[in-house]
Chain A
Amino acid sequence: MSVPGLVLSHGGVVEEEDLCVIKVNYLRGHFKIYQPLLDGHKEYCEDLPNASETVFVMEYLHESLGEAAVDFRIIRDVTGKGRFARWEDVAEVPDLDSATVFYREPVIDPDLLTVVHDFKEEGDFIGIVTANVDGDETIYRAVFPFEVGFTGFGYWPFFIVLLIAIQVQYLMMSGKFKRWRQGGNLVALLAVMPLFFAGKAVADSQTAWQSNRGVYTVTVTSSLEPIVINQIHSWTVHITSNGEPVSNAVLAIAGGMPAHDHGMPTRPRVTEELGAGNYKLGGMRFHMQGDWEISIEIEANGKTDTVVVMLSL
């Protein structure tokens, strides 16, 4: 049993950059609480205004949580510690079950934890999230005291409450990344693309597209002519470098509509290298009329460059 240093919070839930984060040991989740019947989409981080039907959402920011058996328990605060309650206090409760108002059995869920509980009365409660990461050996917990029928300041000053609420039985670090931020690269890419392309062009087999740093030249031919929305089809991408066809290239495709900040409805990829610098790109589909940008990152002979094909539908 050891203590992982000071955490700026009064429990396993903290606010980071406007994001409510629950820390189950080093495993983090985006934590949101709703009282949909009374407050619709209004999002709470921990204290709740009413004894009402409440939805707890924990979106996993760490892949390991998606592999762990995660359970969720809410008890009445019988520790007498109120906002200062931590796992040691909970562990001393002689009959945890009789204090429990809600319990969700451990479930391995790849994406998130969601539970719904109808609070029948106001009062002080303690939420306990347990993640069993590796069989029975590794158990991580987040313990977060909260109040239902909270009438105090909406901006409760967390920073005055320095508490350690996370129980550690196992310390390990891992370089897993935030899954939920995947796709951010695409959005960033789409945002800068228009800078490189003034004027509007349309993809056709006559147009030669230069890669951003001039390494590659690309022409594309569609199996669907003309291209219409909502039909899956393939493209043939012809790649040259200094006029010579490029073989053994690795292509990464990302596409979207910059005006609408969204990507493609499918995940296209190269299904076949056809020879003579030609690559078959399967799974092309556009689900909206308007301006599309298809970014093709080309890696061949140690040189990587990206070409952006513009398409107006």
Chain B
Amino acid sequence: MSLSVRQILVAVVAAAIAASPNTGCAEALSWSDTEIAILRSLAIDNLPPLPADPTNSVADDPRAAEFGQQLFFDARLSATGSVSCSTCHQAERHFTDGLDKGQGIGQSKRNTPSIVGVAYSPWLYWDGRRDSLWSQALSPLEDPVEHGGNRQQYAHFIETTAEYLEQYETLFGAWPDLSDPASVDLVFANLGKAIAAYERLLMPGRSRFDDYVDAVVANDAAAKQELFNPDEEHGLQLFIGEANCTQCHNGPLFTNNEFHNTGVLSYPGEVPDRGRIAGVREVLSTQFNCRSEFNDAQFKECAELEFARSGYEVMGAFRTPSLRNLAGTAPFMHKGQLKSLADVLQHYNDAPDAMIGHNEAKALNLDDRELQQIEAFLNTLTAPLSTDSKWLVAPVVPAIQAAEE
């Protein structure tokens, strides 16, 4: 008896749930001209071609990208022979690793960010402590808790690995005499430039959101309804409106690549991370920055370095990450403090005072339903990369196989 009542209840509830989306989307949301302009600005069709990188003479050389891909996946570029770039930047996880903080030889100090589309950013790392893709690529190689090796070791490795030496010389000219430390620096910088050439190929693909924007622009109600359910539509409307997300997550990569303090809690056992205030100091003094002799540009234009914001206003600020494909990249924030998208949205909804510096975000006071709608929208940004799949796996190189056997 009680069972049958329960069955009836279940049936009624199920019917209600099944009916609700239909009643909810009887009329698709209509967008204002201003909103449509914002939607178009976020669509991937609005992504300009990747600008040239004059600091890296091989940035767009396909041979450099191939060489860089081999280096990216080669664990011999580490003190232990066990850590490659792909140890943390795992292609199948959108080039992240699913951990709070990267795990190389030891635990790194921050969360592994995706590198898809990062070639568009004037700043690299959560704190922007590097100002080019190639100089960023060098830094983990010598970090004691990441790859843990040093440039002498890597230069020697290339010198004694025939197929790498050959590729190197094709790209960068005759192998230099390593007894000169300047030559070691040069070889090291060039390895970074090859890896950067590879990373420049990693680009996000067209997502359901982008198709939806097309449908909006074409004013195709049927297509809109087919592409987005009412929750996703309302989530998007909140995203570009009331929730203020596009203050920072703007443009087709959903990032302004700028630094913001959003008051994320310190990581357990650690003091609060200072972020950009330290990062800007480092990038101004680092050996391989834009002003260095390793910048290949004929005329070194280092406007970003020259006009960089510094000082207390960037205390506790971190670089805005892209939101494309974020669904598979938990945990979030610079140390993986927030474990789910729901946690992230709740955090922005509350906008607590920052432990250090000043939280730029303001409390949103959205209700749970609205936060879920934003989350539903964010999940529409998931899509396979536009990059050819051959770049997303370790290349088949005889030398690597030989080493593993």
B309 contacts A55, CB within 8 Å? no
At the interface, yes or no: A267 with Cβ under 8 Å from chain B?
yes
Say whether, besides A41-B265, A53-B269, A57-B272, A288 and B256 are in contact (CB < 8 Å): yes
Contacts of A263 in B (CB 8 A): 313
At the interface, yes or no: B27 with Cβ under 8 Å from chain A?
no
**Residue in B244, B258, B266 whose beta carbon sits within 8 Å of that of A265 in the complex:** B258
Contacts of B266 in A (CB 8 A): 34, 36, 55, 116
A34 contacts B355, CB within 8 Å? yes
B244, B248, B271 — which one has the most chain A CB atoms within 10 A of its CB?
Answer: B271
A41 contacts B256, CB within 8 Å? no
At the interface, yes or no: A37 with Cβ under 8 Å from chain B?
yes
Measured between alpha carbons, how far is A31 from B154 in the docked complex, in Å? 46
Q: Give the interface size class of chain B.
A: 35 or more
A41, A111, A180 — which one has the most chain B CB atoms within 10 A of its CB?
Answer: A41
Say whether, besides A55-B355, A268-B307, A288-B248, A232 and B265 are in contact (CB < 8 Å): no
> Mask for B348-378, Cβ within 8 A of A = 1, else 0?
0000110110001000000000000000000
Contacts of B310 in A (CB 8 A): 267
**Residue in A37, A111, A230 whose beta carbon sits within 8 Å of that of B256 in the complex:** A230
Contacts of A288 in B (CB 8 A): 246-248, 250, 256
Tell me the interface secondary structure of chain B in the complex: loop
**Residue in B244, B272, B303, B360 whose beta carbon sits within 8 Å of that of A282 in the complex:** B303
Name the interface residues of B229-283: CB closer than 8 Å to any CB of A: 244, 246-248, 250-251, 256-259, 263, 265-266, 268-272, 274, 277
Closest A residue to B311 using CB positions? A182
Closest A residue to B353 using CB positions? A41
Contacts of B306 in A (CB 8 A): 282-283
Measured between alpha carbons, how far is A114 from B310 in the docked complex, in Å? 20
Name the interface residues of A254-300: CB closer than 8 Å to any CB of B: 260-269, 282-283, 285, 287-289
Q: Please report the number of residue pairs spanning A and B whose Cβ atoms sit closer than 8 angstroms.
A: 100
Measured between alpha carbons, how far is A199 from B263 in the docked complex, in Å? 35
B312 contacts A179, CB within 8 Å? yes
A287 contacts B269, CB within 8 Å? no
> Mask for A75-103, Cβ within 8 A of B = 1, else 0?
00000000000000000000000000000
At the interface, yes or no: B38 with Cβ under 8 Å from chain A?
yes
Closest B residue to A113 using CB positions? B271
**Residue in A59, A179, A260 whose beta carbon sits within 8 Å of that of B356 in the complex:** A59
> Mask for A23-49, Cβ within 8 A of B = 1, else 0?
000000000101011001101000000
**Residue in A53, A182, A267, A268 whose beta carbon sits within 8 Å of that of B312 in the complex:** A182
**Residue in A41, A260, A283, A289 whose beta carbon sits within 8 Å of that of B263 in the complex:** A41
Number of A residues contacting the other chain (C-beta, 8 Å)? 40
Name the interface residues of B200-245: CB closer than 8 Å to any CB of A: 244
Closest A residue to B121 using CB positions? A230
Contacts of A55 in B (CB 8 A): 266, 271-272, 355
Name the interface residues of B303-327: CB closer than 8 Å to any CB of A: 303-304, 306-313, 315
Closest A residue to B255 using CB positions? A230
A43 contacts B315, CB within 8 Å? no
B244, B246, B266 — which one has the most chain A CB atoms within 10 A of its CB?
Answer: B266
B355 contacts A287, CB within 8 Å? no
Q: How far is the CB of B217 from chain A (nearest CB, A)?
A: 17
Which residues of B approach A to under 8 Å, CB–CB? 38, 41, 122, 244, 246-248, 250-251, 256-259, 263, 265-266, 268-272, 274, 277, 303-304, 306-313, 315, 352-353, 355-356, 360
10 contacts between A and B (CB under 8 A): A36-B266, A36-B268, A36-B355, A37-B268, A41-B265, A53-B268, A57-B271, A229-B256, A266-B304, A267-B309
Which residues of A approach B to under 8 Å, CB–CB? 32, 34, 36-37, 40-41, 43, 53, 55, 57, 59, 111-112, 114-116, 118, 179-180, 182-183, 229-230, 232, 260-269, 282-283, 285, 287-289
Add 6 more A-B contacts to A116-B271, A282-B307 (CB < 8 A): A36-B355, A55-B272, A180-B312, A230-B256, A264-B309, A265-B309
